[in-house]
Structure 1
Amino acid sequence: MQKLTPEIEKASSLLKLFGDKTRLTMVKILDSHDCCVCEFVEIFKTSQPAISQHVRKLKDAGIVRETRRGQWIIYSLNKESDFYPLVQDLLEHLPSQDFKLKELEEQGLRISCD
């Protein structure tokens, strides 16, 4: 069996991460908006520990980075990642998820951690 290159291994791991619809949606949202875990909790109607696990996996893969703002941690897409071009190509084929943030705004939950 032929040995896979590190690039193929990394791309395969990345695509496995994106095989989860929650993580894929998170990355699409982060493509245009920075978010905190509390916003994802509201968007996905999922527990904070579950959301934190998704974010950790994306962060460990280098897809997402975090920035501390006071006591809050804000997540954004890591555009410095070697695999950002692959991520960007994938995201171009997905519909905008901005409506999810608009729904949060309408509920008064968009910037619930400020």
Structure 2
Amino acid sequence: MEKIAIDKMATILKLLGDQTRLTMILLLKESDCCVCEFVELFNMSQPSISQHVRKLKDAGLVNETRRGQWIFYSLNKESTFYEVILSITEHLPTQEEKIIQLEKLGKKISCD
């Protein structure tokens, strides 16, 4: 595994030190999500959610893909930090139940 510079790792750990962003990473490990789904799950404003997503995207931790009118976010498996993120998330509870709850409420967007 390639070594990561301490300053770069510190930046990533600081990003993940925010509970909302860390939870977003856990959710994205389960399923791709769009901003409106995050708004529903976190009960936060769209601009606040967009700021969190932008920080994760700017750090290269997430990718965005347009599907129709929606932009979906996913974990960036090509990121230098992907293995570190997987390692961190192994020690945290799954967020699968939140995704299931979103589906039950009919708020999970499917573009298939």
TM-score range, shorter chain: over 0.9
Kept after mapping to 2: 8 A contact 1:29/1:98 = yes
Report the structure number with the largest CA radius of gyration.
Answer: 1
Whole-Å separation in 2 of the counterparts to 1:103 and 1:71: 23
Whole-Å separation in 1 of the counterparts to 2:53 and 2:73: 8
SS class of match (2:108): coil
Give the C-alpha shift of residue 111 in structure 1. Answer: 1.3
1:97 counterpart residue number: 95
2:12 counterpart residue number: 14
2:79 counterpart residue number: 81
Kept after mapping to 2: 8 A contact 1:67/1:75 = yes
TM-score by length of 2: 0.92
Give the C-alpha shift of residue 104 in structure 1. Answer: 1.0
Q: Which 5+ residue runs of structure 1 have no aligned equivalent?
A: 1-5
What is the aligned residue count? 110
Q: Which 5+ residue runs of structure 2 have no aligned equivalent?
A: none
Does 1:36 find its partner at 2:63? Answer: no
SS class of match (2:26): helix
Whole-Å separation in 1 of the counterparts to 2:85 and 2:48: 23
Does 1:111 find its partner at 2:109? Answer: yes
- Encode CA deviations 1:17-37: one digit per residue, 9 max, x unaligned: 011100000001101200000
TM-score by length of 1: 0.91
Kept after mapping to 1: 8 A contact 2:28/2:74 = yes
1:62 counterpart residue number: 60
Runs (4+) of structure 1 exceeding 6 A deviation are: none
Whole-Å separation in 1 of the counterparts to 2:96 and 2:78: 23
Report percent identity of matched pairs.
63
- Encode CA deviations 1:9-55: one digit per residue, 9 max, x unaligned: 11000000011100000001101200000000000000000000000
RMSD: 1.8
